Amino acid sequence: MPGFKSPDWFAAEACAPERAEKTAILERITAPLKAVAVAYSGGVDSTLLAWLLSRAFGKRVRTVLVKSPFLAAREEMAAWLTAKALHFPLTVIPLNLFAVDGVRDNGPDRCYRCKAALMDAVIREVGDGWTVVDGSHAGDAEKDRPGRKALEERGVLSPFALAGWTKEDIRRAARAFGLPNWNKPSQSCLATRIPHGTPLDVDLLKRLEAAEDIVWETGCRQVRVRWVSGEAKIQVGSDDISIVKTPAVSQRLLSRMRRLGFTRIIVDPKPYPMD
């Protein structure tokens, strides 16, 4: 395949025609791009995209992480460590999303407003001469996500989605390349923990983040703590439910979360999906 510098991956994958074709499409889509700024989160999607563009397709690449009140500190640190390990040139820019019109109200269009502000910040940071891309994949494009509109309006490209790459394709490739976060569970911003119509509050977001940190410390691999009708709802993956329901762990979780000010705490019996 012209231009692709990692034939070992195809050998390992037994040259599966569908995957080879998707990679060829990805290369054709990105061929006109010279300097690419990846809207970076530290997740496997944006990490693999930056890796392919820089290492496989030979583009000039920089990664840009927007630090906002909705980004958990653990996610910011993980993103920084991954970028450092892979030698990505990372720029971190601060953005106060609470100052964005309508975001604090947390209406149905909150995701659109946030994504628009985030992409505007990245575009301003990199300036002319850079094409901004993100790691959205084909599965994201099939979902009703208001943030997609914000990307399209600003000309932000989603190469994986355009080339038909699925989450499975991304994880398989990331694992083959030995990327350190190939199996990192998908994450979302802290604002998603609070239902639309409930105004966003800095203190509540910080308490929910702290509560999630407590649950992460038990060894769970996928964690959400949501604020629902005055209750803190703990959600974990299917392999983790037995952990949080262990009497000693459950008692410790409840005790520590009460110290954060949560008086009504429940564990969702339905497993939270990994992707």
Cα–Cα distance, 167 to 273 (Å, whole number): 13
Express each pLDDT in 105-133 by its tens digit.
999 999 999 999 999 999 999 999 999 99
The residue with greater pLDDT, 6 or 204, is 204
Cα maximum dimension of the chain: 60
Express each pLDDT in 195-246 by its tens digit.
999 999 999 999 999 999 999 999 999 999 999 989 999 999 999 999 999 9
Q: Tell me which residue of 153, 152, 227, 160 sits closest to 190, measured CA to CA.
A: 227
Q: What band does 4 get if pLDDT is binned at 50, 70 and 90?
A: very low
Express each pLDDT in 139-163 by its tens digit.
886 676 778 899 999 999 999 999 9
Q: What band does 16 get if pLDDT is binned at 50, 70 and 90?
A: low
Q: What is the mean pLDDT of the chain?
A: 91
* pLDDT at res. 249: 95
Q: What's the token pair of residue 226?
A: 């949501």
Cα–Cα distance, 208 to 148 (Å, whole number): 26
Hey, what domains does the chain have and what are their CATH numbers? 7-176 (3.40.50.620), 201-267 (3.30.70.2210)
Express each pLDDT in 96-109 by its tens digit.
999 999 999 999 99
- Mapping DSSP to helix (H, G, I), strand (E, B) and coil, where does residue 228 land? strand
Count of beta carbons in the 10 Å neighbourhood of residue 141: 14
Express each pLDDT in 61-92 by its tens digit.
999 999 999 999 999 999 999 999 999 999 99
* pLDDT at res. 83: 97
* pLDDT at res. 12: 46
Cα–Cα distance, 2 to 5 (Å, whole number): 8
